[in-house]
């Protein structure tokens, strides 16, 4: 299931999970903090279905240096270590930008059933990032697990991360 500009709930089986703006704003804040520390313009947060924030992380590709240190992967790693499990099937990920192919893979293997993103891959490409594009529909067709995707959530707010990145660094990788 793919929703755009949704601001209410996602139904997972019989469980209603509220999609909350404050969690996207936390991901945006993580990205802005990451930019100030020399990272790329991306942030992500892992939240349980009751609204408890488990982990937030920024992109750290440039300052690690490692091409796999995307915000989503960093947040998943932090959450898994904190929870002492590799299965995050009762959690949602909020990410400032639509996940790339690598991050979609990490999200799938972590079994995250809800993905909420702000800006989309087209927005990232206009900034100059060379994303391997896989659409939400293609991902859902390939996935054997049900995943709810809420796209373009607070997109205008999430775009401020790109503006700040251009002002401070603009260094592409």
- Return the closest-CA partner of residue 48 out of 110, 146, 98, 114: 114
Catalytic one of 18, 22, 72, 98: 72
Token pair, residue 63, equals 């300052």
How far apart CA 34 and CA 13 sit, in angstroms, is: 36
Residues 6+ apart with CB under 8 A from 129: 172
Q: How many Å from the N-terminal Cα to the C-terminal Cα in the chain?
A: 32
Residue 132 contacts residue 101 (beta carbons within 8 Å): yes
How far apart CA 117 and CA 143 sit, in angstroms, is: 18
How far apart CA 161 and CA 64 sit, in angstroms, is: 20
22 classed as catalytic: no
Q: Give the full edge-to-edge strand order of the sheet including 53-58.
A: 2-4, 148-151, 114-119, 91-97, 43-48, 53-58
- Catalytic residue set: 72
């Amino acid at each position: 299931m793919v929703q755009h500009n949704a601001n209410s709930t996602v139904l997972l089986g019989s469980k209603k999970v509220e999609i909350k703006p404050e969690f996207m704003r936390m991901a945006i804040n993580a990205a802005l903090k990451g930019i100030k520390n020399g990272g790329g313009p991306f942030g992500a947060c892992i939240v349980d279905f009751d609204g408890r924030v488990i982990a937030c992380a920024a992109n750290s590709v440039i300052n690690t240096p490692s091409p796999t240190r995307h915000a989503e992967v960093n947040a998943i790693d932090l959450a898994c270590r904190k929870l002492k499990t590799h299965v995050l099937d009762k959690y949602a990920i909020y990410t400032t930008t639509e996940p790339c192919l690598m991050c979609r893979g990490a999200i799938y293997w972590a079994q995250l059933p809800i993905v909420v993103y702000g800006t989309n891959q087209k927005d990232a490409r206009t900034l100059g990032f060379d994303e391997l594009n896989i659409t939400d529909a293609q991902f859902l067709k390939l996935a054997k697990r049900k995943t709810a995707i809420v796209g373009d959530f607070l997109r205008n707010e999430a775009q401020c991360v790109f503006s700040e990145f251009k002002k401070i660094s603009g260094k592409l990788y």
